Amino acid sequence: MFEHYSEILKDLKSHSHFRNIKDFTEKDAKYIYLKDKRLINLSSNNYLGFADNKKITEEFLNYTGDKFSLGSASARLLTGTLPVYKELEKLITTLFYKESALLFNSGYHANVGINSSIASKGDVIFSDKLNHASIIDGMRLSEAKFFRYPHNNMEALEKLLNRERKNFNNAIIVSESVFSMDGDIADIEKLVELKEKYNCLLILDEAHAFGVFGKTGLGVAETLGLTDKVDLIVGTFGKAIGSMGAFAAGNNIIINYLTNKARSFIFSTALPPINIAFSKWIIENKLPFTYEKRTKMLELGQKAGSQSHIIPLVIGDNKETVDTCDILFQNGYFTLPIRPPTVPEGTSRIRISLTVDINERELFDAISLAKSKK
């Protein structure tokens, strides 16, 4: 019976699709250590350097002492809640000027829970073709019909809405703001216009933008002054915030609904209190002082031809992408080959993600090394 799986693994290997977990020995905000080799980490979501940061960890632990435990031992709706969870929810609610917010254990949990429950039989979801796997998995679990419109193509979305909206009861449009593998940005103004014209709810996943974009770091909707127009904003604490967990912010009705219906929220042990406290502490005490650094990082991304701090170097072929990562590795840069099914077939790439500690010389050195390989 194991032969079946073994054959699949062989096939993955022969197509350069095989994935394995690396043996890192250490990490800090800028470098990653593999055996004796120190590499500049160009593959991290630790955009602001808050994770793997001894100084930050020490400062936080000095502040909290032993106040917060390391396990919640229960789901939120059972006994897995304490004031700090509600305080973080209140903080998110206030920052976004929403009525309410709900914590999830991760962005994956949030998207699966939301997209599987927000629409039922007779409803419809319109989702950008390049939305994250967690959104797709959520929709697949839902009983609603879903359509995936061509990436960032607002004309195609409107055509679809025009043709299909009338055939369903409730309708949802869901998009990322900064696309995780392409670094480009959704046309949020148009999404808002379309959701109003076609009477839909709009969900915006700001996973890669929360902590990075916007005057106070809330995301792209903040930059555009549109947070009030988005019905449900999703963000994660696992990337720029350097912690773990996620949130959804919206009105009281939708948050109460998710509290009662989102199965990934209901049926999973809550994150440890210390983790919730860390997210809250970072957002309150560190995020407000990042504006200049974040802006510089975004400018650097733009200089490299992206709309954000995520810079895709699309190579196409799986093996060539893996080989290019090897060349970068030999030259002191850690990057990862991103291959299908994470990205569409034939668009394998190196996804460079900047952190505030990467400088211009390092970025362009890595890019020219990758290009010379091509």
Ligand X SMILES: Cc1ncc(COP(=O)(O)O)c(C=O)c1O
Binding residues (CB under 6 A) for ligand X: these are 106-108, 111, 132, 134, 176, 180, 205, 207-208, 236, 238, 246
Q: Which is nearer to ligand X, 106 or 279 (CB)?
A: 106
Measured CA to CA, the distance from residue 195 to residue 161 in angstroms comes to: 9
Minimum CB separation from ligand X for residue 327, in Å? 25
Measured CA to CA, the distance from residue 205 to residue 109 in angstroms comes to: 13
Beta carbons of 203 and 234 less than 8 angstroms apart: yes
Helices 107-117, 133-141: inter-axial angle, 10-degree rounding: 30
Minimum CB separation from ligand X for residue 89, in Å? 17
Q: Which is nearer to ligand X, 80 or 219 (CB)?
A: 219
Measured CA to CA, the distance from residue 157 to residue 163 in angstroms comes to: 10
Minimum CB separation from ligand X for residue 283, in Å? 15
Question: Could you please report the per-residue DSSP string of 77-132?
Answer: TTT---HHHHHHHHHHHHHHT-SEEEEESSHHHHHHHHHHHS--TT-EEEEETT--
Measured CA to CA, the distance from residue 294 to residue 47 in angstroms comes to: 8
Q: Sheet holding 24-27: strands in order across? A: 24-27, 31-34, 37-41, 333-334
Minimum CB separation from ligand X for residue 44, in Å? 12
> And the tokens for 156?
């195609």
Q: Which is nearer to ligand X, 207 or 287 (CB)?
A: 207
Gyration radius (Cα) of the chain, Å: 21
Q: Which is nearer to ligand X, 40 or 110 (CB)?
A: 110
Q: Which is nearer to ligand X, 44 or 134 (CB)?
A: 134
> What are the Cα distances from residue 128, in Å, to 18, 119, 154, 350?
27, 16, 10, 22
Q: Which is nearer to ligand X, 139 or 198 (CB)?
A: 139
Minimum CB separation from ligand X for residue 128, in Å? 10
Minimum CB separation from ligand X for residue 268, in Å? 12
Measured CA to CA, the distance from residue 169 to residue 239 in angstroms comes to: 35
Q: Which is nearer to ligand X, 217 or 238 (CB)?
A: 238
CB atoms within 10 A of CB 18: 14
Minimum CB separation from ligand X for residue 104, in Å? 8
Residue nearest to ligand X (CB): 107
Minimum CB separation from ligand X for residue 156, in Å? 20
Q: Which is nearer to ligand X, 211 or 238 (CB)?
A: 238
Measured CA to CA, the distance from residue 345 to residue 340 in angstroms comes to: 5
Question: Could you please report the per-residue DSSP string of 30-58?
Answer: SEEEETTEEEEE-B-S-TTS-TT-HHHHH
